[in-house]
Amino acid sequence: MNVYDSGRIAAILESLGHHATPTLKEADIVIFNTCHIREKAAEKVFSDLGRLNLIREERWAEGKDTIIGVCGCVVQAEDEQIWKRAPFVDFATGPLTYHRLPEILEKVRRKKGTFVIDTDFPAEDKFDSLPINHASGGCSFLAIQEGCNNFCTYCVVPYTRGAEYSRPVEAVLEEAKRLVADGSVEINLLGQNVNSYHGEDKNGQERNLAYLIRKLAEIDGLKRIRYTTSYPADMTDDLIACYKDVDKLMPYLHLPIQSGSDKILKAMNRRHTSGDYLRIIDKLKEANPEIGMSSDFIVGFPGESDEDFQATLDVVNKVKYIQAFSFKYSPRPGTPAAIMPNQIPEKIKKERLEILQNLLFDYQTKFNQASIGKIMPVLFEHKGRHAKQLIGRTPYMQNLHAELSSDYLNKIVNIRVTDATTNSLTGRVEGV
C-alpha cells in the first residue's frame, strides 16, 4: 500500500510541475512515506530524517533551500512528536490526507520555519481528489479499499488508516481500464482488508470483491488479477469460486493466519480458529488444486507458550506455504496487546522466529525446486543487473531471471524454468 501511496504522492508533485531527481542532494523537496506497523519501521524514519538533515544543511550552505515532509502512518500515530524529534521537518500529513499536498506545500512556502501538520480523517474521498493513476509498467497496483475495522489487538492499522472504506465499483473499473490502456497487463487490487470490499455500483447496490473480480476479468487486455491483503473470515464462497471460474485470477493467495494456536488467535481478537482457516484452504484447493498459499506470522505474541508456537509450526506443515512473511511481535503504543501480561522475552522471540523461518524457507525452496523443468508464463517487470537480463514474476509471485532483450519488458512470455533457489528462479524462453 505504501508503494502505491508513494506513486500517488509522486503524481501529485508532477502535477505541480516537479520531477524526480537522481540523488537526494539535488532535491528541493524530500518526502518520506512512513510505516508504523512495527517499531523497527517507525524508528527508521527518525534515523533517515537525521541523515537527510545533514544534506539539508550542506544545501543551505550552498544557498539552496530544502522542504522536508513526512507522510504516512507514523505521522498519524506520532502527530506533533514528529516535529519535537525532528524540528527541521516542514510538514507532516497522514495516509488519508496526502491528496491535500498542494495546499500543504503552499502553506509551507508562505510560513517557512513553522510546522504544518494535517492528520484529519477527512470526509471527502481522497481517491476522488488524486491525479489520474497512470501505469508505470506491465503490473499496476490499484487501491480499492482502505482502513480496517477488525482491531486485531497487536495492530495499529485501525488507528492510523481509520475505519474501512470501499471505493465505488465504477471508479475502480474506470481506473483499471485506464491502467490497461496505459499498458498494464496485471492489476493487483489493494486494501488493508481487501476481501471485505463492499463498494457501491452505479445503482447504489453494494458489491463484493468476487463481483469486482468478475467485472475486471471482462476488461480486454487485462491478463492477470491479484489482490492483497485478505482476512480469513471474509473469504466468502463466491470469492473462493473465482479460483475455479476466473482464469485471470492468479492461483496464489496471501491469507495471513498470524498464529496456529486458537488461544493466541483469540487473544489477538482474530475472528477465526486454525480449524476455520484450514477449512478455507481445503475449499480453495477444491476450487483450484494448483493454488499456492502465502501468509503472515507473528511469533512471541504475549502469552505464547511452546505449545502455542508448535501449533503454528503444525499449520505450516499442513499448508506447506510457497511464500510467507514472519515477524517478531512488536508492542505498539496504544494497542491492547502492548499492555497484556506475559510479554515474551526478546531472546525467545528471536529463537522462535529462526525456527519458523527455517521451516518456511524449506517449503519455499522445495516449491521453487519443483518448478524446474516447467514452462511458466512470466510477466517481465524490471531490467536485471546484467545486460540483456530481465526479471519477472510467475503466476505464483516467484521472481524469475532470464537472458532476454528489453523488448520483452512488460510482456508475458512463456519461460522454461532451469534453476531455482529459495528466493528466485532462472529460466529461458522456449525455443530461443
Beta pairing, strands 323-328 & 399-403: unpaired
Asked if 225 interacts with ligand 5AD (CB under 6 A), we say no
Using the minimum distance from each CB to ligand SF4, give the nearer residue, 150 or 295: 150
Q: How far is CA 196 from the centre of its chain?
A: 16
Count residues near ligand 5AD (CB under 6 A).
12
- Specify whether the CB–CB gap between 154 and 268 falls below 8 A: yes
Contacts of 354 by beta carbon, 8 Å cutoff, 6+ apart: none
Helix, coil or strand: residue 239: helix
- Applying CB under 6 A, among 119, 145, 160, 193 the residue interacting with ligand SF4 is 193
Beta pairing, strands 91-93 & 116-118: parallel
At 176, which amino acid appears? A
Segment lying near ligand 5AD (by CB under 6 A), choices 54-62, 142-150, 271-279, 324-332: 324-332
Find which of ligand SF4, ligand 5AD, none residue 332 binds, CB within 5 to 8 Å per kind: ligand 5AD
Contacts of 159 by beta carbon, 8 Å cutoff, 6+ apart: 76, 77, 334, 335
- Specify whether the CB–CB gap between 112 and 228 falls below 8 A: no
- Applying CB under 6 A, among 95, 158, 232, 427 the residue interacting with ligand SF4 is 158
Count residues near ligand SF4 (CB under 6 A).
10
Asked if 348 interacts with ligand 5AD (CB under 6 A), we say no
What is the C-alpha separation between 163 and 147, in angstroms, rounded?
A: 5
Segment lying near ligand 5AD (by CB under 6 A), choices 108-116, 135-143, 326-334, 351-359: 326-334
Asked if 152 interacts with ligand SF4 (CB under 6 A), we say yes
Find which of ligand SF4, ligand 5AD, none residue 312 binds, CB within 5 to 8 Å per kind: none
What is the C-alpha separation between 294 and 59, in angstroms, rounded?
A: 45
What is the C-alpha separation between 90 and 115, in angstroms, rounded?
A: 5
- Specify whether the CB–CB gap between 127 and 174 falls below 8 A: no
Residue-wise DSSP of 95-130 = TTTGGGHHHHHHHHHHTBTB-EEE----SS-HHHHS
Q: How far is the CB of 39 from ligand 5AD (least distance, A)?
A: 8
Radius of gyration of the chain from Cα atoms?
23
Give the per-residue contact string, 33-62, with ligand 5AD (x = CB under 6 A; - = no).
----xx------------------------
Residue 149 buriedness (CB in 10 A; 0-12 / 13-18 / 19+): exposed
Asked if 258 interacts with ligand 5AD (CB under 6 A), we say yes
Name 294's bridge partners. Answer: 254, 323
Find which of ligand 5AD, ligand SF4, none residue 298 binds, CB within 5 to 8 Å per kind: ligand 5AD
- Applying CB under 6 A, among 140, 150, 364, 394 the residue interacting with ligand SF4 is 150
Find which of ligand 5AD, ligand SF4, none residue 192 binds, CB within 5 to 8 Å per kind: ligand SF4
Asked if 329 interacts with ligand 5AD (CB under 6 A), we say yes
Using the minimum distance from each CB to ligand SF4, give the nearer residue, 75 or 89: 75
Asked if 2 interacts with ligand 5AD (CB under 6 A), we say no
Helix, coil or strand: residue 412: strand
What is the C-alpha separation between 126 and 9, in angstroms, rounded?
A: 12
Find which of ligand SF4, ligand 5AD, none residue 30 binds, CB within 5 to 8 Å per kind: none
- Applying CB under 6 A, among 119, 195, 330, 394 the residue interacting with ligand 5AD is 330
Find which of ligand SF4, ligand 5AD, none residue 419 binds, CB within 5 to 8 Å per kind: none
Which positions touch ligand 5AD (CB under 6 A)? 37-38, 154-155, 256, 258, 296, 298, 327, 329-330, 332
Which positions touch ligand SF4 (CB under 6 A)? 148, 150-152, 155, 157-158, 192-193, 231
